[in-house]
Amino acid sequence: MDPWFAIGMLAFVALLIPLGMILISSLLRPTVPIAGKRASYESGEIPTSSTHFRFDIQYYMVALLFVVFDIETIFIFPWALIYRDVAEYDLFWALAPMLIFITVLFVGLIWAWSTGAIKWMASETLSETKVSP
């Protein structure tokens, strides 16, 4: 038997099973079209406004910076384990790569801070509403 035939049959069965399950479930499930099924569902609460709104770019900038510094910690832990034994012999050559790495990240943080990328700005609706005591 040709090995490509076996791969083709495996692919056919891999597509046939999920498509068959979808088809059978669509034929057997009860359909009760009511307006409540098409409404937005938010944790059991009735939505008070539109669910389609734009996030501020600052949200994404803070999220990206979090990911960058989270990845930094992922790289620091294995480095610490690898260079633990080397540090006993020559501390400078063990610390130099990580100091360069942290310096590059620190320069990136200073740049983000100086350009205002991590400055959180208040929402326009929050700044317009004043709470009186």
pLDDT in tens, 11-40: 999 999 999 999 999 999 887 777 766 666
Q: Domain boundaries in the chain?
A: 3-29, 57-121
116: left (phi over 0), alpha (psi -120 to 50) or beta: left
DSSP per-residue string spanning 67-124:
HHHHHHHHHHHHHHHHTTTGGGT-HHHHHHHHHHHHHHHHHHHHHHHHHTTTPPPPPH
Biggest CA-to-CA distance, the chain: 84
Question: How distant is the alpha carbon of residue 107 from its chain centre?
Answer: 24
pLDDT in tens, 89-131: 777 777 888 888 889 888 988 888 888 777 766 655 555 555 5
